[in-house]
Amino acid sequence: MGAGRPAEERVSVRPPEVRLREAVPPEAALTEADRALVRLLDRLAADRYAFVAPTPSTASTVAGRRDRARPDNLRDVLGWSLPFAPRDLPDDVEALLRAGDVLRPDGELLRPTVRVSAVDGRLHLHSAPGSNADAVFLGPDSWRFVRLLRETLDRRPGFARALDIGAGAGVGALALAARAPLAEVAATDVNPRAIRLLRINAVHAGQPLRIVEGSGLAGLTGPFDLVVANPPYIADRDKRTYRDGGEALGTAVALTWAREAAGVLAPGGRMILYTGAPVVEGRDLVHAGLTDLAAARGLELAYEELDPDVFGATLRRPEYATVERIAAVGAVLTRP
């Protein structure tokens, strides 16, 4: 993952009798296009819009049943990413999409470059299929990640200072901020497109976050009571930011972030990691790496397979010739 110079924005938000919570984005920091997309999310929420982003294969199958969106069907356009004709949508929705600069021509039709999906009861703006290498996607991994956060924090709630590493569109950071309104919640990402979407989603959700553009911890220092991460975990030949987990069959980013997190945990602090783990000859490479890390740093490790087999089609690629399966896993590293 490339390193970027940390870029922070702050706004004064001081709840009564609570120390300053540094927050990004302030409304004033958004561009006019960003503001239009916040209004779009507000409009959709008021209209009870609901869409859950599926796997890419499911999205392709369902979208392939029609060649264009049905008139006035916002889920066809902003969920299934189908093209639509001008004036097929309510005038205000089309105007907001144009003002947000998220429409591209598709022959005589128009197609959105973003989707809107619900996770944990909140709407999130993210990239549509077919986007560039710096796309920011939500899907079943996002849903499982937030579920892992909820279940882990249900067992032992409470944190004052939290960090979401590689936050993407912000499902983790926003879930934490909603759960603990008085906590400081920071979020980092190396991808400028992710930072933009996170700003928009945070303003729509009404959650003041501290957002920092940069790799890994992006210069932030501890101690943190809670660090969470949902890193990319596929060995991607095209090095796409949203997909590439680095060396060692895509495990390098997850293990690097776990090492960084271990260095900033407060006493009793935890890192909650959701990722994919390649299994080679029965050996889970992520579990092995985290076990070594826990032993070296004096941490406690809890580890669980959440789904034993995800991204099965990836195993057909030459670099995965030795891999039996990829498991979706949840890990909690705790500093005593």
Q: Spell out a b/e string for 216-226, using b for 16 or more CB atoms within 10 Å of the CB, else e.
A: bbbebeeebbb
- Whole-number pLDDT of residue 267: 97
**Sequential pLDDT tens for the chain (336 residues):** 333 333 333 322 223 222 333 344 446 578 999 999 999 999 999 999 999 999 999 999 999 999 999 999 999 999 999 999 999 999 999 999 999 999 999 999 999 999 999 999 999 999 999 778 889 999 999 999 999 999 999 999 999 999 999 999 999 999 999 999 999 999 999 999 999 999 999 999 999 899 999 999 999 999 999 999 999 999 988 888 888 899 999 999 999 999 999 999 999 999 999 999 999 999 999 999 999 999 999 999 999 999 999 999 999 999 999 999 999 999 999 999
> Exposed, middle or buried, 3 (CB in 10 Å: 0-12/13-18/19+)?
exposed
Amino acid at 34: D
| Residue found under tokens 């959700």 | 205
- Whole-number pLDDT of residue 244: 86
- Whole-number pLDDT of residue 90: 96
Instruction: Look up residue 105 and give its two tokens.
Output: 């021509």
Q: Quote the CA–CA distance of 284 and 150 in Å, as a whole number.
A: 25
> Exposed, middle or buried, 67 (CB in 10 Å: 0-12/13-18/19+)?
exposed
Q: Are 191 and 217 contacting, i.e. CB atoms less than 8 angstroms apart?
A: no
Query: What global pTM score does this model have?
Result: 0.90
Query: What are the φ and ψ backbone dihedral angles of 62, each rounded to 5 degrees?
Result: -70, -45
Strands (E), the chain: 7-8, 103-106, 109-112, 114-119, 122-127, 161-165, 184-189, 210-213, 224-229, 265-280, 283-284, 300-307, 323-334
Instruction: Look up residue 107 and give its two tokens.
Output: 């022959």
DSSP structure string for 39-105: HHHHHHHHTT-------HHHHHHHHTT-SSPPTT-HHHHHTS---B-TTSS-HHHHHHHHHTT-EEE
Strands 283-284 and 300-307, by their bridges, are: unpaired
Q: How far is CA 250 from the centre of its chain?
A: 17
- Whole-number pLDDT of residue 38: 97
- Whole-number pLDDT of residue 134: 87
Q: Which residues contact 262 (CB under 8 A, 6 or more apart)?
A: 271, 293, 297, 299, 333, 335
Question: In whole numbers, what is the pLDDT of the chain averaged over residues?
Answer: 90
- Whole-number pLDDT of residue 70: 96
Q: Quote the CA–CA distance of 304 and 323 in Å, as a whole number.
A: 19
For 109, the 3-state DSSP assignment is strand
> Exposed, middle or buried, 318 (CB in 10 Å: 0-12/13-18/19+)?
exposed
- Whole-number pLDDT of residue 240: 85
Q: Quote the CA–CA distance of 40 and 29 in Å, as a whole number.
A: 18
Q: At what angle do helices 171-179 and 140-155 cross, to 10 degrees?
A: 30
- Whole-number pLDDT of residue 28: 56
Alpha-helical regions (H) of 156-229? 171-179, 192-205
Instruction: Look up residue 40 and give its two tokens.
Output: 């779009």
Amino acid at 158: G
Residue-wise pLDDT for 75-120, tens only, equals 999 999 999 999 999 999 999 999 999 999 999 999 999 999 999 9
Q: Which residues contact 318 (CB under 8 A, 6 or more apart)?
A: none
Amino acid at 24: V
Residue-wise pLDDT for 223-263, tens only, equals 999 999 999 999 988 888 888 899 999 999 999 999 999 99
